[in-house]
Chain A
């Protein structure tokens, strides 16, 4: 067993074409037409419930002021595509700044969280090592309680993190669940492999970097996505700890623009005079918030199940 069993992909049934079902076992009866139709309708409905609102948001964000007025608001059928809303939003100003802030916080935060989590998960993954039970229990216990919003708020304030981007990273940097998932995966890597590397002269850091991490690409991808999505989606800590409106990340700006229906700083005039559609601007901000996530998550999708389960099974 030189490879952890979890890391080898299960052999996928190779279907010749996407509508060709794999061969039905001899004991299974042929599916009824009505059953197939019912399943098809139910599944299409579920998927449409997700896709349809997103379609409207995307199409409206790409529509001109004229198209939006003709449609009476939201646009279902695109009539010509214009990127004017995006151009305005990304040509400097409030939304551009907020997007850059969000991207940087996400990048720095994710690297920091991953580094700390991977180190910790590996440090706790070698069974029989000194004190690992105690450290693990200390961390696990935090899944059962929360110190509360007010004490946490007072602490972050006392640490002088107010009005600093560190307040968006440090207090929420770790997810114990993510560490458990990583640890569960690392534990599946055979001890013989690691012992062999150590006898060849590798220290723990080197074992982690050159043996454990390359064998864990799938779970590392999943956890990276989880952390990145967490940072990208966060708005509450910014609303608590940042006072300067110019420092706000994209989600907080989206609250102002969409929920409170305010015009972006500097674009109010253009919207009032009818050069720009306020609705298209709102939609464009929403698309900017969903785009990175929608692009990244399908790539990691095939590993989700694996990532969710390894951590759950092993304590």
Chain B
């Protein structure tokens, strides 16, 4: 990690660059893209420090994002974790079984249950979560007093920075068997109510948690879009006799439309990921009937059951379908004239 620390002072900073500027390479402007003019060697001399700077990050990405792709071969193996403590050695010595893991998966009712739960959660989250940040942004945007606005934003952003463990703990204290709601019900002579372990309402519970945690944060993008609407559009609309609501409908909402469309498309591209940590934390409480999604299915079979080949196969299916969805979603984004690829 020698390259990873930023030099603490200017004196240290100057040492890595041995070539003085006078030699000429630094003065070659990088703006000139005509690589034909400059030889590769000259460009390398000029830019080698920049390349050096990216190496630590590049190394991390190659090791932790690209290298594991090769590990997906266990999906085609009867992987035996007990051959060696070292996973790579185990992979080299485990027998290949072709598509056997995939066959087992497609015959496994638990897998299809997980697929179903994933899709149901995705749709419920899309319908119930998605409109809330838009509405909140419209609300905040209509508040003209800057202080109130700043305080409301500070409060609404806050839960985004809480961990899922904390969010679920808060929900448990509110809606669990010993939570606030049960306590109030009991004190008024009713039975307690444990929403946290009810499989029938689990999808809505998950959505409520997502809304509590991230709906406030979601308004940032919309607020930025709203801030970019020129004020004279509103003035012109008002001159033409449009009231508040008509101005919102004809000026404000059209300004949000590209952002909404883009976020929708990207969300669809990520459809199979429905909140892994959040659901894993509550999977045992609510049972696998409602609480098992694709990601937790992989975790359970691999990490807990040590059936690595099987779990990796399920993960691979999810991964391949996800890539397809992401690419398709981005294609749609491009067709809509949006530059969506770099947006998270």
Residues of A within 8 A of B212 (CB): 49-50
Q: Decide: B231 and A128 in contact? CB cutoff 8 A.
A: no
A252 CA to B344 CA, complexed, in Å? 28
- The answer, yes or no, to whether A131 is at the interface (CB within 8 Å) is yes
Q: Decide: A149 and B315 in contact? CB cutoff 8 A.
A: yes
Residues of A within 8 A of B1 (CB): 112
Chain B, interface SS category = helix
B80 CB to nearest A CB, Å: 12
Segment among A1-9, A88-96, A263-271, A296-304 that sits at the interface with chain B: A296-304
B173 partner, pick from A56, A115, A198, A252, beta carbons under 8 A: A56
Total residue contacts A-B, CB cutoff 8 A:
371
Chain A, interface SS category = helix
A291 CA to B243 CA, complexed, in Å? 45
A205 CA to B291 CA, complexed, in Å? 50
- The answer, yes or no, to whether A165 is at the interface (CB within 8 Å) is no
Size category of the binding interface on chain B? 35 or more
A120 CA to B20 CA, complexed, in Å? 23
Residues of B within 8 A of A308 (CB): 220-221, 224
- The answer, yes or no, to whether B152 is at the interface (CB within 8 Å) is yes
Q: Decide: A286 and B166 in contact? CB cutoff 8 A.
A: yes
B5 CB to nearest A CB, Å: 6
- What sequence of 0s and 1s flags, for each residue 208-230 of chain B, a beta carbon within 8 Å of any chain A beta carbon? 00001000100011011000000
A195 CA to B163 CA, complexed, in Å? 43
Interchain Cβ contacts under 8 Å between A and B, 13 examples? A19-B147, A39-B143, A129-B46, A138-B61, A144-B327, A151-B71, A154-B88, A171-B64, A205-B14, A205-B17, A209-B13, A305-B223, A309-B224
Please list the residues of chain B having a beta carbon within 8 angstroms of any beta carbon in chain A.
1, 3-7, 10, 13-14, 16-17, 20-21, 26-27, 29-33, 40, 43-44, 46-47, 49-54, 56-58, 60-72, 74, 85-91, 136, 139-140, 142-148, 150, 152-159, 161-166, 168-170, 172-174, 178-180, 183, 186-187, 212, 216, 220-221, 223-224, 231, 234-235, 238-239, 243-244, 276-277, 280-281, 285, 295, 298-299, 302-303, 308, 311-312, 315-316, 318-319, 322-323, 326-327, 339, 341-344
Please list the residues of chain A having a beta carbon within 8 angstroms of any beta carbon in chain B.
12-13, 15, 18-22, 24-25, 27-29, 35, 39, 42-43, 46-47, 49-51, 53-54, 56-57, 72-74, 112, 115-120, 122-124, 126-132, 135, 138-140, 142-155, 157-159, 170-171, 173-174, 176-177, 179-180, 191, 195, 198-199, 201-206, 208-210, 225, 229, 232-236, 240, 251-252, 254-255, 258-259, 279, 282-283, 286, 289-290, 293-294, 297-298, 301-302, 304-305, 308-309, 311-312, 314-315
